[in-house]
Amino acid sequence: MARLISIIVGLGFVVVLLYTFAVGAYTAATEKAEVTAEHEFHLTPRDAHLQSAGWTGTFDYQQVQRGYQVYKEVCSACHSLRHVAIRNLGELGYSEAEVKAEASSWMVPGIDPNTGESTLIEGSPTDYFPSPYPNAVAAAAANNNAVPPDLSLITKARHDGGNYVYSLLTGYADPETYTHDGKSLKEEFPDFTTPTGLNFNPYFPNLNLAMAAPLSDGQVTYADGTEASLDQMAKDVAAFLVWTAEPTLQKRHATGFPVVLFLIFASVLAFLAYRNVWRNVKH
């Protein structure tokens, strides 16, 4: 009897599950999806034309150095880079003395040798780039209750990462006058609002984000004389963050093509050997 009851209960569960699935599938197939501002006006990233893009991409180390300068002078005020060691700057063409000088310009958590208490000390090349906040609570309190993400791997964490960073930094707009493809945001969605403390950006998934536009023309002074326009700085810092996320990208590309060519050559040899060994065998 108990066995019969368990079978009936199991069948009832299967029937309910199939009914739920059928109702959901029918609803999805017949009901028209609600058109939202996020769906209509969220844009895919624009092409920043970074040298690192594509299968044969390489790094423009001069541009990456400029991107590091933008990160240091602008982005580091809110965003950490905790997976990157200061000594890694040597891979960008900085000399050992320059790396040590850069390290000493950063203040990192340490211990006071006299009191044993936690304090900030000059960084060394072996240190990792420090966080601007002691913890997530302090970060949220300083940024309208939004914790700025760590940028070490941001171009891997976002689709089309390098282009996404570039587009986001250059994409801020006024929602009251914003248009795309001849459509006005306010005319299409009059109820759309950007809450106080947030900023409109069509490259952000829900169109509103806590970070205000961080870059403006002439905000940094490049040592190589490059004009520090907003567009240029956005490209440079995007190139830098592509490097922090995948510093071995150039080596991987350089190794990958010979490996692919070898595999193709080996496959041809294997096929010819197969034909030679089995050519006299009748089916």
Q: Binding site for heme c: what residues are annotated?
A: 75, 78-79, 211
Instruction: For tokens 């941001």, name the residue.
Output: 154
DSSP code string of 34-92: PP-HHHHH--PPPP---TT-STT----HHHHHHHHHHHHHTGGGT---TT-BGGGGGGG
217, 228 Cβ separation under 8 angstroms = yes
How distant, in Å, are the alpha carbons of 9, 69, 85, 97 from that of 125?
66, 17, 7, 10
Half-sphere exposure of 247 (CA within 13 A, CB side): 12
Neighbouring C-beta atoms of residue 201, cutoff 10 Å: 25
What is the amino acid identity at position 130? P
185, 41 Cβ separation under 8 angstroms = yes
In angstroms, the CA 162 to CA 11 distance is 52
Instruction: Determine how β-strand 199-200 pairs with β-strand 183-184.
Output: unpaired
Which residues contribute to the annotated binding site?
Answer: 75, 78-79, 211
Token reading at 163: 């282009």
In angstroms, the CA 225 to CA 66 distance is 10
